[in-house]
Amino acid sequence: MSEIQATPQVTSAESGPDWQRVYRLMLTIRLFEERANDLYQRKIMPGLAHLSSGEEGVAVGVCTALRDDDYITSTHRGHGHCLAKGASADRMFAELLGKAAGYCGGKGGSMHIADQERGNLGANAIVGGSLGIATGAALSIKQRGSDQVAVSFIGDGALGQGVLYEVMNMASLWKLPIIYVCENNLYGEYTASSETIAGRPIERATAFGIPATEVDGQDVRAVYAATAEAVARARSGGGPAFLWCSTYRYFGHHVGDVDRGYYRSREEEQFWREQRDPISLARVWLEADGLVDAASLEELAEEVTHELDAAVEFAVAAPFPNPDQVATDVFA
Amino acid sequence: MSSPDPTPEGESRELTMAQAIREAIAEEMRRDSSVFVMGEDVAEAGTPFKVLSGLVEEFGPERVIDTPISEPGFTGMGVGAAMTGRRPVVDIMFGDFLGLVMDQVANQAAKVHYMSGGKLSVPLTIRTTMGASRRSAAQHSQSLHAWVSHIPGLKVVLPSTPYDAKGLMKTAIRDNSPVVFFEDKMNYQQRGQVPVAEYTIPLGVADIKRPGKDVTVIATSSMVLVAMEAAEVLAQEGIECEVVDPRTTVPLDREALINSVGRTTRAVVVDEGHRSYGVGAELAAVVSEGAFYFLDAPVRRLGAMDVPIPFSPVLEDLTVPTVQGLVDTVRELCGRK
Ligand SMILES: Cc1ncc(C[n+]2csc(CCOP(=O)(O)OP(=O)(O)O)c2C)c(N)n1
Ligand SMILES: [Mg+2]
């Protein structure tokens, strides 16, 4: 039945996934976003950029519990989801810069990266816009008799969209293999979620008979454990799940949002950065559990830095699309 | 002839389009306590484009209401509030989100007055945006004014200058029918003279932005700027363009368009919606029908390419009408190529 579940016990380090890889992915996202920010500030990256720095634990914890052939849908703040699902940074940067080598040939940009090979059905610039897509993918999984699952990443702001309640109802009725992962970063644009969300968010899922879990999104182990449990249930026909992950975005709503004083305090930002950083927290227990030593983490950081610098270099040097591309891909 | 705007005598100052719109709404809120604003991040944030900055400070959160991200819900509430004595100004952050609210707009707001035999009315204003060229990709760049212009019962406003925006917004708020008001994102920082004294501009009156005798360029919203620049270039070559801005697609000042083409005998329509089945097509049809005996050449149409707006700057810039494209079209039309 539709109970609100306790946060699952954190899996012991030994039985879990390759935690060093988990750490590496989180770091990759952090350094990717720093470079995206830099490219934007230097006016090399056009358009809008919504950075996910601070939210790496959710993207990586969830995607680590998925297979390559599982589906995800993502949001306007989607770089982390995309990398965590296995996309390569060079083609992502190329997309951010509108280059032909980008995942969408430059047609999508930051808010629309899709990576079909890794089951990423695309980021979406409409809040809640991919809820139907993800749930439809879950319907397709069921019809095809596959044991894949679908994950729909959404922000807390998407709780305002009525489509969420329509698809959760159907997902529950038809026992679809879909996991709704809500990243509660406390704000939708410049408004606190406390001003836009009535009641207890996870009860919106349990009202439809969907098991819901409150998860510490800054603890990648907890996110992984909660997702793994939901995935196992969904794969075996147990139907949907809802994860409400508390997290925080370090930057503004988008890179241009620098004067944030009117909606959130510096102290709050500092608290999350200093006390609740998912990467620093992971590092502490990784070292304490003897899974890694400081030296190997330094080495890893250097490796990732080199990789991402090379990816940026690739993207900057890559050519823009040929003008005739403007009229292709309109119809399949 | 058109443009008998009751331009008030006296002082004026330079405002941006965003400031002019804010001033219009603030004046109407002072004048009529039933006017209120509702939408996402309209209060302290003053919208992402800062169009409404300062309103919540003056009118308080009861009249400048921050909503959840629930466009269909709060637009529907705008319809209901309008039917029962309020004058809501509903903010739809991007015109693309009309996709979410079209039932409330087209099936509810547009129909209520007619279906009730004139008993009920919906004095609702929906503010939203249009326009590409900001590298915002396919879901944040559309110009969807044709969607609502197609639905009887809705009035549709497309201001191109701060002066027009202010006068038309005040009229829209006072109108007893639902009005959809499109603001081009590229125009928000555009500056222009706006009188200090109060004025309104009636809906359905076109404005001649530049008189000329050789060719009529009918342009809407930010395309008026494109037309004005093109007219400047063409003037150097001895081609005098008359730039006519309909300002509202519904009601449409057909007479002004037809009269202008009657004088110039040639017409080009420039509108940022997709070229096919759009506002441009309607405007072209109006002058083709109405000025048929005066026309020396077929009416031409420039619009956005019939493709989703791409992100990459090199592609996006190909999709929207440009000064050069318009200059070339006019030259061709005047046999100067
Ligand atoms: C339907 C819709 N309404 C409004 C917007 C504008 N918008 C973009 S992001 C955003 C806030 C989303 O908040 P949330 O879902 O919490 O995601 P976060 O940005 O916090 O990651 C808004 C209102 C949009 N893109 N789509
Ligand atoms: Mg949020």
Contact yes or no for B6/B202 (Cβ under 8 A): no
Q: Is residue A169 part of a domain?
A: yes
pLDDT of residue B2: 43
Average pLDDT over residues B272-286: 98
Distances from the Cα of B189 to the Cα of B52, B93, B159, B160, angstroms: 14, 17, 14, 12
Candidates A170, A132, A176, A174; CA nearest to A152 is A132
Candidates B44, B53, B51, B63; CA nearest to A264 is B44
Residue A154 alpha carbon to ligand 1 centre in Å: 9
Q: Domain count of chain A?
A: 1
Q: Between chains, do B69 and A330 touch, taking CB under 8 Å as contact?
A: no
pLDDT of residue A127: 98
Q: DSSP letters along A199-239, please? A: S-TTHHHHTTT--EEEEETT-HHHHHHHHHHHHHHHHTT--
Closest CB to A98: pick one of B100, B140, B314: B314
* Torsion sign across C-alpha atoms A73, A79, A81, A86: positive
pLDDT of residue B5: 54
Task: Give SS3 for A137.
Answer: helix
Tens of pLDDT, residues B89-108: 999 999 999 999 999 999 99
Q: Which residues of B touch A (CB under 8 A)?
A: 40-41, 44-45, 48, 66-70, 72-73, 96-97, 99-100, 134-140, 305-308, 310-315, 318-319
Q: Is residue A331 part of a domain?
A: no
Chain A residues lying within 8 Å of B306, measured CB to CB = 330
pLDDT of residue B7: 60
Q: How confident is the model at residue B3 (pLDDT cuts 50, 70, 90)?
A: very low
CATH classification (class only), B207-333: alpha beta
For B12-195, CATH gives 3.40.50.970
Q: With a cut of 60, say whether residue B183 has pLDDT above it.
A: yes
Q: With a cut of 70, say whether residue B62 has pLDDT above it.
A: yes
Same fold, B12-195 and B207-333: yes
Chain B residues lying within 8 Å of A107, measured CB to CB = 137-138, 308, 310-312, 315
Residue B6 or residue A158, greater confidence: A158
Tens of pLDDT, residues A250-266: 999 999 999 999 999 99
Q: With a cut of 90, say whether residue A222 has pLDDT above it.
A: yes
Average pLDDT over residues B101-117: 98
Q: How confident is the model at residue A5 (pLDDT cuts 50, 70, 90)?
A: confident
Q: Which residue is listed with tokens 């032909």?
A: A100
Give the nearest ligand 1 atom to A184 CA. 16
Closest CB to A47: pick one of B97, B135, B308: B135
Q: What's the pTM?
A: 0.96
Ligand 1 pocket check for B93: Cβ under 6 Å = yes
Q: Between chains, do A196 and B138 touch, taking CB under 8 Å as contact?
A: no
Q: What is the mean pLDDT of chain B?
A: 96
Ligand 1 pocket check for A192: Cβ under 6 Å = no
Q: For residue A187, report the phi and psi dihedrals to the nearest 5 degrees.
A: -140, 150
Q: Between chains, do A196 and B96 touch, taking CB under 8 Å as contact?
A: no
| Burial of A141 (C-beta count, 10 Å sphere; 0-12/13-18/19+) | buried
| Burial of A168 (C-beta count, 10 Å sphere; 0-12/13-18/19+) | buried
Q: Between chains, do B45 and A321 touch, taking CB under 8 Å as contact?
A: no
**Partners of A215 in the β-ladder:** A245
Distances from the Cα of A140 to the Cα of A136, A137, A289, angstroms: 6, 5, 41
Give the nearest chain B residue to A189 (CA atoms): B41
Average pLDDT over residues A158-172: 98
Q: Is residue A11 part of a domain?
A: no
Q: With a cut of 60, say whether residue B1 has pLDDT above it.
A: no
Tens of pLDDT, residues A43-82: 999 998 999 999 999 999 999 999 999 999 999 999 999 9
What's A107's domain CATH number? 3.40.50.970
Give the nearest ligand 1 atom to A159 CA. 15
Please give the residue range of the domain that contains residue A251.
Answer: 19-318
Ligand 1 pocket check for B137: Cβ under 6 Å = no
Q: For residue B278, report the phi and psi dihedrals to the nearest 5 degrees.
A: -115, -170
Residue A77 alpha carbon to ligand 2 centre in Å: 9
Count other Cβ atoms within 10 Å, centred on residue A293. 11
Going by C-beta distance under 8 Å and a sequence separation of 6 or more, which residues neighbour residue B232?
Answer: none
How high is the ipTM of this complex?
Answer: 0.95
Most A-contacting residue of B41, B69, B71, B307 (CB-CB within 10 A), to test interface? B69
Residue A47 alpha carbon to ligand 1 centre in Å: 16
Q: Which residue is listed with tokens 């309008």?
A: B82
Q: Is residue A221 part of a domain?
A: yes
Residue B322 or residue A9, greater confidence: B322
Q: How confident is the model at residue A8 (pLDDT cuts 50, 70, 90)?
A: low
Tens of pLDDT, residues A82-118: 999 999 999 999 999 999 999 999 999 999 999 999 9
CA distance B261 to B279: 18
CA distance B97 to chain A (A): 8
Q: Between chains, do A189 and B70 touch, taking CB under 8 Å as contact?
A: no
Identify which ligand lies nearest to the alpha carbon of A162: 1
Residue A4 or residue B275, greater confidence: B275
Q: Is residue A4 part of a domain?
A: no
Tens of pLDDT, residues A172-220: 999 999 999 999 999 999 999 999 999 999 999 999 999 999 999 999 9
pLDDT of residue A1: 41
Give the nearest chain B residue to A320 (CA atoms): B314
Most B-contacting residue of A189, A322, A325 (CB-CB within 10 A), to test interface? A189
Q: Between chains, do A109 and B100 touch, taking CB under 8 Å as contact?
A: no
Ligand 1 pocket check for A187: Cβ under 6 Å = yes
Q: With a cut of 90, say whether residue A12 has pLDDT above it.
A: no
Q: Between chains, do B137 and A158 touch, taking CB under 8 Å as contact?
A: no
**Partners of B182 in the β-ladder:** B128
Tens of pLDDT, residues A298-329: 999 999 999 999 999 999 999 999 999 999 99
Tens of pLDDT, residues B125-178: 999 999 999 999 999 999 999 999 999 999 999 999 999 999 999 999 999 999
B113, B140, B145, B274: which one is catalytic? B140
Chain A residues lying within 8 Å of B140, measured CB to CB = 48, 111, 125
Give the nearest ligand 1 atom to A193 CA. 16
Q: Is residue A330 part of a domain?
A: no
CA distance B263 to B294: 8
Q: Which residue is listed with tokens 């227990």?
A: A285
B71 catalytically annotated: yes
Contact yes or no for B57/B109 (Cβ under 8 A): no
Contact yes or no for B191/B15 (Cβ under 8 A): yes
pLDDT of residue A16: 84
Q: How confident is the model at residue B10 (pLDDT cuts 50, 70, 90)?
A: confident
Chain B residues lying within 8 Å of A126, measured CB to CB = 96-97, 99-100, 139
Q: Is residue A43 part of a domain?
A: yes
CA distance B257 to chain A (A): 32
B71, B183, B272, B316: which one is catalytic? B71
Task: Give SS3 for A245.
Answer: strand
CA distance B13 to B7: 14
Q: With a cut of 70, say whether residue A10 has pLDDT above it.
A: no
Average pLDDT over residues A25-45: 98
Domains of chain B, residue spans? 12-195, 207-333
Chain B CB within 8 Å of residue A166 CB: no
**Nearest CA owner, ligand 1 atom 19:** A188
Contact yes or no for B94/A7 (Cβ under 8 A): no
Q: Between chains, do B307 and A128 touch, taking CB under 8 Å as contact?
A: no
B140 catalytically annotated: yes
Q: How confident is the model at residue B228 (pLDDT cuts 50, 70, 90)?
A: very high
Q: Is residue A72 part of a domain?
A: yes
Spell out the SS3 assignment of chain B: CCCCCCCCCCCEEEEEHHHHHHHHHHHHHHHCCCEEEEECCCCCCCCCCCCCCCHHHHHCCCCEEECCCCHHHHHHHHHHHHHCCCEEEEEECCHHHHHHHHHHHHHHHHHHHHHCCCCCCCCCEEEEEECCCCCCCCCCCCCCHHHHHCCCCCEEECCCCHHHHHHHHHHHHHCCCCEEEEEEHHHCCCEEEEECCCCCCCCCCCEEEECCCCEEEEECCCHHHHHHHHHHHHHHCCCCEEEEECCEEECCCHHHHHHHHHHHCCEEEEEEEECCCCHHHHHHHHHHHHCCCCCCCCCEEEEECCCCCCCCHHHHHHHCCCHHHHHHHHHHHCCCC
Closest CB to A189: pick one of B40, B70, B73: B40
CA distance A104 to A115: 8
Ligand 1 pocket check for A158: Cβ under 6 Å = yes
Most B-contacting residue of A191, A255, A258 (CB-CB within 10 A), to test interface? A191
